[in-house]
Structure 1
Amino acid sequence: MKKRTLLFAGAALALGCGPAEPPPPPAGSAFSVRAGGSSCDLGAEVATGADGHVAVVGTFAGTIDFGGGPLDSAGSSDIVFATFDAEGKPGPAARFGGPAQDGIPRVVAVDGGSWVIAVNTQTELDLGGGPLTPPGAAGAAIGKLDAQGKHVYSTMLGATVSGMAAGGSDAVVATGSFSGSLVLGGETLTSAGATDVFVTKLDGKGAPTWSRAFGSASLESGMAVAVDGSGNVLLGGGLLAPVDFGGGATSHAGGVDAVLVKLDANGDHVFTKTFGDAADQVIQAVSTDAQGNVFVAGLFEGRLDFGSGELASQGRDLFVAKLDPSGAELWSRTFRLTSAEWDDSAPRIAADPDGGLVVTGMFTDALNLGGVPLEGFGQTDIYVARYNAAGKHLDSRSFGDPSYQLAGGLVVDRTGAAVITGSFYGTVDFGQGPLESAGECDIYLARFAP
């Protein structure tokens, strides 16, 4: 796979509980559901609110029903948004899209039981407030929905969004890539090369409060993003050349280097750290815990060192690491992946309320995440693993059958329950009985009680 593809890092979720937050919701139940028709329907991302409710977004064609009634697509692929309570009871759902194929959506939970979704699109898209048109060849439609799935605001960015996180006080932080000029509020960002990275904070009405752009004469693409309980922004990704994120030009050891950037709540630079050697390394997911510690995960070749000694790959391997708020390593782990593609095997991570970490993704053949080795059932399978605050392995499981199962999004709620989404062919069982696909591939949503 080309190196430029490796830079499109997956999104990550931030989790932080401040002292003013309400008590955690009831623990809820483990449940799993499927939705889909005769076409291939994809589960993309999942979020959870303070009340324990869950929202899932994905794409579908034809008809789809999450339990609240059928939704019909208008084109070859539409966006689906569906909600559930912590017991698995379906809530409001909606579809968005036109005659053309729509991009992969993202979702985060914000204050008041509302949700913010983002969809990259090359054509006009209506998120409920009227048609939005990209200013150039492509753009990102961002919209807020209330607890009933009704439109609150929507806006179009002239860029591609690769990551989004709740920013506190009903705000969101979005990051991604753009070329040429990007107008955000009253500010115009100009790229230094083919594509640059942007990050912006949007208030509760979708208006930018601050925006930043970072780049070089080379190619920089979208990054993963998380926001800690103090409003600091964490960006993770990969670099092909030195870039100045506000603290001076980074080092560059060769190939693609992993990079972690911390900005404060006003978008000002706190630190930049790069990791890697002449091979390829990339951070594909970022999360934070209630103490402001930072988790990163991704794939790497060669060697990388987060501060406590080198991790050496045996080919293309998975890494996870926990850093303190200053970026110093607390612990790191590496796991052997076989037949790993940069995009397909990108991990998803989320911190839990106790400072531990949940990791999900997909694998082929076999994978040992620190416990009993997991054996693959078939083509690709899903794994879920949990570690405590010190990095000790607590649990790991695999799910699949002889066909394909694909990882999508992950979130951990304030009770410690993990929720995953993605897609599957054939049959998959998350512990509540088998789910069987109705068509080419269906969306799954599974909640594991704390």
Structure 2
Amino acid sequence: MAHINFELKKQLITIKTKKMKNLKFKYVTAVLASLAFAETTHAQTWDWAKSFGGKEVDYVSGITNDAAGNIYMVGNFKGTASFGNKSLTSKGYYDIFLAKYNPEGQLIWIQQEGGSDLDEANGIVLDKKGNIYITGYFTSEADFGGVKMKSSGDRDFFLAKFDNNGKINWIQASEGVNSEYGKALALDNNGDILVTGIFSKEVKFRTNTLKSKGNTDVFVASYNADGALNWIKTLGGNGKDEATAITCDSKGNAIITGWFSGSAEFGEINLISSGDDDIFIAKINPSGRVEWVDQAGGSESVDRSYGVAADSQNNYYITGSIKGEAKFNDQIIKSVGTDDCFLAKYNDKGVLLWVKSSGGKGGEIGRAIALDKSGNIYVCGDYNSTFAANSNSSSYDDWDIFIIKYNDKGFALSANSAGGNGYDRPIAMSIDNNNNCYITGVYERDCFFGKQEIISQGDSDIFVAKTKSFEPLRNN
């Protein structure tokens, strides 16, 4: 497992992992006491960790929970892959899996979707009735629970609804000459589905024809629970623009994040990136109008945002990575290494309330974000960092997993890590009603969650792990 030396304002946290290596979050102000966990086995523990997959590269893209704590996951697999007590064999290059597990990680059911070519799912949400929605794309011909689909271009966007037993209810798709991907989705309080993704060239959603202005543009669409399209909007400009995450606040506004390059239009608001890629966060009202958009980034860097969440007060949080110096409104943060993880908070008017960065000599990337019932913020990501016991630093080539828990002021309360001898990357995270944290992603070779070791069967397998609410830090 790698070592990490994270820079966080006003804190020092040290965590000893399974292999007795240290995670550090340093104070940058003077004369400050350290806070620490004991060994992982005596502080934050992992309830369990499971591994799924086969001999090929398998991937997971989304996770969510119902009120009973059951787990729903979606992703992609190639060849034959095991998902607990059942194995699936792909019909083509990659197929989609949709699975339900109980709170202990035991398989309840699993469904396979796809066809003879490349099919991919990129997000999952659950409504109040237990219906499941997923989005992604399909290529050539694909079968979704007996519903036959045929792409009109290279890759076509889809949005599909399933009941709680995994039976297909309906599926909607785009018609494009090139490629359209569904990237993420969310539900508002009325049960409408908000979905975002990217497209290139020309694409048709029902009677709405969209044309990209650059390499790829972003779309945001609203569908009702019956699959009818309420509205669709495009965002972007002359460069390569991408949306990565979406959430809804209590008023039905959609909050999306991602990045853009060059000049880009967000409704009536025009932005120009400072560097190669700049971060954006945008608020879109229930009618599809862009209320505001904010950007962040630096002049000589690639800055990315991967996760977004909204709290009960309609404040918004994003996480991702920065390179070098990045400007968030009037606040400037600088990476310590190649990439640093950031966490930023905005109010409902788009005003930046605070931004925090964490990082060491290597790379740290925030991949996903979730909130518990108390308003605490959880950020998970991967790191490949350095730890300096003295003036000499020691670097590591592998990537491991971290989770940091913050309060709503941006103060780090606790942290945890997992990993092994290969590349380990979290993809998605979910918090249930009892503040249990579920994290899923991919790993190579082996991966330790506390004392629990999982071993991959192929090039890259899927992990899912459960951990209880983090224990408070204590003084060294």
In structure 1, what is the Cα distance between the partners aligned to 2:150 and 2:173?
8
In structure 2, what is the Cα distance between the partners aligned to 1:100 and 1:172?
27
Over residues 58-95 of structure 1, what are the superposed CA-to-partner deviations in whole Å (9 max), with x where a residue is unaligned?
A: xxxxxxx9859xxxxxxxxxxxxxxxxxx955323322
Shift of residue 357, structure 1, vs aligned partner: 0.6
Higher strand share: 2
Could you say if the C-alpha distance between residues 281 and 102 of structure 1 is closer, same or farther in structure 2, counting changes exceeding 3 Å?
closer
Over residues 358-402 of structure 1, what are the superposed CA-to-partner deviations in whole Å (9 max), with x where a residue is unaligned?
A: 010011111122353111111111000111122121121111111
Contact 1:384 1:397 (C-alpha < 8 Å) held by counterparts: yes
1:108 — aligned with what?
A: 64
2:92 — aligned with what?
A: 136
Shift of residue 223, structure 1, vs aligned partner: 2.2
Could you say if the C-alpha distance between residues 35 and 139 of structure 1 is closer, same or farther in structure 2, counting changes exceeding 3 Å?
farther
Could you say if the C-alpha distance between residues 37 and 339 of structure 1 is closer, same or farther in structure 2, counting changes exceeding 3 Å?
farther
1:220 — aligned with what?
A: 180
Q: How many residues align?
A: 369
Aligned pair partner of 2:262 in 294, 299, 302: 302
Shift of residue 444, structure 1, vs aligned partner: 0.7
In structure 1, what is the Cα distance between the partners aligned to 2:19 and 2:221?
42
2:324 — aligned with what?
A: 365
In structure 2, what is the Cα distance between the partners aligned to 1:437 and 1:145?
38
Aligned pair partner of 2:279 in 318, 334, 356: 318
**RMSD over equivalenced CA pairs, Å:** 2.9
Could you say if the C-alpha distance between residues 255 and 439 of structure 1 is closer, same or farther in structure 2, counting changes exceeding 3 Å?
closer
- SS of the aligned residue for 2:91 comes to coil
Which AA in structure 1 matches 2:109? Y
Q: If the length of structure 1 is used for normalisation, what is the TM-score? A: 0.75
Contact 1:35 1:443 (C-alpha < 8 Å) held by counterparts: no
Over residues 250-294 of structure 1, what are the superposed CA-to-partner deviations in whole Å (9 max), with x where a residue is unaligned?
A: 243343222111111111101011123333323222111121101
Please tell me whether residue 120 in structure 1 is matched to residue 120 in structure 2: no
Please tell me whether residue 413 in structure 1 is matched to residue 377 in structure 2: no
Shift of residue 446, structure 1, vs aligned partner: 1.5
Please tell me whether residue 283 in structure 1 is matched to residue 243 in structure 2: yes
Shift of residue 247, structure 1, vs aligned partner: 3.6
- SS of the aligned residue for 1:390 comes to coil
Please tell me whether residue 345 in structure 1 is matched to residue 301 in structure 2: no
In structure 1, what is the Cα distance between the partners aligned to 2:44 and 2:192?
33
Contact 2:214 2:237 (C-alpha < 8 Å) held by counterparts: yes
In structure 2, what is the Cα distance between the partners aligned to 1:37 and 1:226?
38
In structure 2, what is the Cα distance between the partners aligned to 1:308 and 1:145?
44
In structure 1, what is the Cα distance between the partners aligned to 2:135 and 2:18?
30
2:146 — aligned with what?
A: 186
- SS of the aligned residue for 2:338 comes to coil
Please identify, of 118-127 and 98-107, the stretch whose mean Cα deviation from structure 2 is larger.
Answer: 98-107
Contact 1:142 1:154 (C-alpha < 8 Å) held by counterparts: yes
Contact 1:371 1:395 (C-alpha < 8 Å) held by counterparts: no
Contact 2:74 2:122 (C-alpha < 8 Å) held by counterparts: no
Contact 2:267 2:290 (C-alpha < 8 Å) held by counterparts: yes
Aligned pair partner of 2:192 in 232, 244, 261: 232
Could you say if the C-alpha distance between residues 35 and 117 of structure 1 is closer, same or farther in structure 2, counting changes exceeding 3 Å?
farther
Over residues 203-242 of structure 1, what are the superposed CA-to-partner deviations in whole Å (9 max), with x where a residue is unaligned?
A: 2111111111113121223422222222211121222122
Shift of residue 128, structure 1, vs aligned partner: 1.8
Equivalent residue runs for 1:76-95 within 5 Å: 88-95=44-51
In structure 2, what is the Cα distance between the partners aligned to 1:314 and 1:275?
18
What is the percent sequence identity of the aligned residues? 24
Shift of residue 197, structure 1, vs aligned partner: 1.0
Structure 1 residue runs of 5 or longer lacking an equivalent are 1-30, 39-64, 69-86, 429-435
- SS of the aligned residue for 1:168 comes to coil
Shift of residue 106, structure 1, vs aligned partner: 2.6
| Structure with larger Rg | 2
In structure 1, what is the Cα distance between the partners aligned to 2:228 and 2:14?
42
1:443 — aligned with what?
A: 401
Over residues 16-49 of structure 1, what are the superposed CA-to-partner deviations in whole Å (9 max), with x where a residue is unaligned?
A: xxxxxxxxxxxxxxx99786879xxxxxxxxxxx
- SS of the aligned residue for 1:249 comes to strand
Could you say if the C-alpha distance between residues 402 and 243 of structure 1 is closer, same or farther in structure 2, counting changes exceeding 3 Å?
same
In structure 1, what is the Cα distance between the partners aligned to 2:383 and 2:80?
30
1:160 — aligned with what?
A: 120
